[in-house]
Structure 1
Amino acid sequence: MPQTAPVPKSGSRAPTRTPAFARVIPHNQLSYRDPLHWLHLALRDVVAAPSVSLFYGMVFTLATFAIWVAVLLQGTHLVIIPSLVVFMLVGPFLATGLYDVSWQLERGKKPNLFHSMRAIRRNRVSEWGFAILLAVMMIFWMRVAAMVHALYPLNQDAHFEQFLPFLSLGTLFGALFTATVFALSAFSIPVMMERRVDMMTAISTSVSAVYHNAGVMVVWAAIIGAGVALGFATAGLGMLLIMPILGYATWHGYIRTIKTKRPRRFE
Structure 2
Amino acid sequence: MSITKQAPIAPATVASDLTASDLRAALAAGWSDFKTHPIFGLFFAAIYVLAGVFITYALLEWGEFFWLVLTSAGFPLLAPFTAVGLYEISRRREAGMPMSWKAVLGALRGHGDEQIMSMGVILFVAFGFWLLVAHGVFAIFMAEVGTGTTHIEFFTTAPGLAMLVVGSMVGGLMALAFYAITVVSLPMLVDREVDFITAIIVSLATVRSNKFVLLGWAVFIAVALFVAMIPGFLGLFIVLPVLGHATWHLYKRAVSHPSA
TM-score interval w.r.t. the shorter chain? Answer: 0.7 to 0.9
**What residue is the counterpart of 2:182 in the other structure?**
185
1:251 pairs with 2:241 = no
Identity %: 27
2:137 to 110, 133, 148: 148
Match in the other structure for 1:34: 22
Give unmatched runs, 5+ long, in structure 1.
1-21
| Aligned twin of 1:125 | 114
- For 2:124, the equivalent position in structure 1 comes to 135
Pair 1:59–1:161, CA change in 2 (3 A): closer
Classify the secondary structure of the residue corresponding to 2:258. Answer: coil
Q: What is the number of equivalent residue pairs in this alignment? A: 241
Once residues 126 and 143 of structure 1 are traced to their aligned partners in structure 2, the CA distance between those partners, rounded to angstroms, is: 26
- Matched residue, 2:4: none
RMSD, aligned α-carbons: 2.9
Aligned-partner Cα distance in 2 for 1:36–1:204: 25
Question: 1:64 Cα shift?
Answer: 2.3
Q: Is the 8 A contact 1:32 1:216 kept in 2?
A: yes
Q: Which residue of 2 aligns with 1:195?
A: 192
1:27 match: secondary structure: strand
CA deviation after TM superposition for structure 1 residue 151, in Å: 2.0
When residues 212 and 55 of structure 1 are mapped into structure 2, their CA distance, relative to the original with a 3 A threshold, is same
Residue 104 of structure 1 corresponds to 92
Aligned partner of 1:173 among 154, 159, 170: 170
Query: Which stretch of the first structure deviates more once superposed, 233-242 or 92-101?
Result: 92-101
**Offset of residue 85 of structure 1:** 7.6
Structure 1 equivalent of residue 32 of structure 2: 44
Mapped contact 2:81–2:123 kept (Cα < 8 A): no
Is there any run of 5+ residues in structure 2 with no aligned partner, and where?
A: 1-8, 147-152
SS of the equivalent of 2:128 reads: helix
Partner of 1:224: 221
Stretch of structure 1 that moved more, 226-235 or 167-176: 167-176
The TM-score, its normalising length taken from structure 2, stands at: 0.81
Q: Matches of residues 76-91 of structure 1 in structure 2 within 5 Å?
A: 76-77=64-65, 78-79=67-68, 81=70, 91=79
User: Is the CA contact 2:107–2:190 (under 8 Å) kept in the aligned structure 1?
Assistant: yes
Structure (1 or 2) with the larger CA radius of gyration: 1
Q: Give the counterpart letter for 1:106 in structure 2.
A: E
CA contact (8 A) 1:23 1:204 kept: no
- CA distance change for structure 1 residues 81 and 171 in 2, over 3 Å: closer, same or farther? closer
| Other structure's SS at 1:151 match | helix
Deviating more after overlay: 171-180 vs 192-201: 171-180
Offset at 1:61?
2.3
Report the alpha carbon displacement of residue 178 of structure 1 after superposing the two structures with TM: 1.4
CA distance in 2, matches of 1:127, 1:228: 23
Amino acid at match of 1:195: R
The one-letter amino acid paired with 1:234 is P
Residue 204 (structure 1) aligned with residue 201 (structure 2): yes
TM-score, L = length of structure 1: 0.79
